[in-house]
Amino acid sequence: RKEVEQDPGPFNVPEGATVAFNCTYSNSASQSFFWYRQDCRKEPKLLMSVYSSGNEDGRFTAQLNRASQYISLLIRDSKLSDSATYLCVVTGRGGSQGNLIFGKGTKLSVKP
Amino acid sequence: GAVVSQHPSRVICKSGTSVKIECRSLDFQATTMFWYRQFPKQSLMLMATSNEGSKATYEQGVEKDKFLINHASLTLSTLTVTSAHPEDSSFYICSALKRGRGTEAFFGQGTRLTVV
């Protein structure tokens, strides 16, 4: 089983749509979880951390289920500017901070 | 957010030559930096962990003699790809850990290496 698995997509959605991405991870010792956004040929940028209690930042909601080792990201009212690849990221062996394990990413394309 | 500068952003080199990539944390000190490699349509793969003042820790399958890492100061880590081959062509990205109330990894802009 891969360390971090994501549906690669692409997800093609119209503006204003709600879209959800899922991610599973294999290392039960992982301590921290994140969603990063990566635009084409650019470096990843932190979108949000994911907490056990779930967290929301504007149109973005992230949730974590430790028992199922499952992370989700919900984007409401999609904008054209949301088009990017969304990377599910967990900390690696021993839960070491900064030793980030990346999923392959889910590509989102928001159309007018 | 913090700033991590990576240089060069793009390099083309001949097979057999060596290329050095620099990663600098501009506004914070980073005792730990990471080097990743990303092939087209693939995820970022951790190559090595660079610790200031000590030897880097390489991931399985990454040749330490080919990918030389030096982290001589708290703001600079370098990755040298020695005797580059076309299969080394990839997108190389560094990240630096900023420790504070929370710990966050900040990424350099990446270096696109093409070996011809």
Instruction: For residue B34, list chain A residues with Cβ-Cβ distance below 8 A.
Output: 98-100
More confident position, B85 or A100: B85
Given a cut of 80, whether residue B99 has pLDDT beyond it is no
Binned at pLDDT 50, 70 and 90, residue B112 comes out as: very high
Mean pLDDT of A11-34: 92
Nearest residue, CB atoms, B97 vs list A92, A97, A101: A97
Cβ–Cβ below 8 Å for A104 and B43: yes
Given a cut of 50, whether residue B6 has pLDDT beyond it is yes
- Mean pLDDT (chain B) is 90
- Mean pLDDT (chain A) is 88
Cβ–Cβ below 8 Å for A43 and B97: no
More confident position, A29 or A61: A61
Which phi and psi angles does A103 have, rounded to 5°?
-75, 170
Cβ neighbors of A105 (< 8 A, separation 6 or more) are A6, A8, A38, A85, A86, A87, A88, B43
Given a cut of 90, whether residue B22 has pLDDT beyond it is yes
Compute the count of residue pairs across chains A and B with CB atoms less than 8 Å apart.
Answer: 48
Q: Is B109 on the interface with A (CB under 8 A)?
A: yes
Given a cut of 90, whether residue A99 has pLDDT beyond it is no
Given a cut of 70, whether residue B88 has pLDDT beyond it is yes
**B96 in Cβ contact with B105 (< 8 Å):** yes
Helix (H) or strand (E) holding A64: strand A60-65
SS3 category, B43: coil
Which tens digit of pLDDT belongs to each residue from A81-97? 999 999 999 886 544 45
Nearest residue, CB atoms, B103 vs list A4, A97, A105: A97
Q: What is the pLDDT of residue A96?
A: 46
Interface of B with A in 57-86 (CB under 8 A): none
Given a cut of 50, whether residue B28 has pLDDT beyond it is yes
List the structure tokens of A109: 């394309």
Instruction: For residue B44, list chain A residues with Cβ-Cβ distance below 8 A.
Output: 44, 87, 102
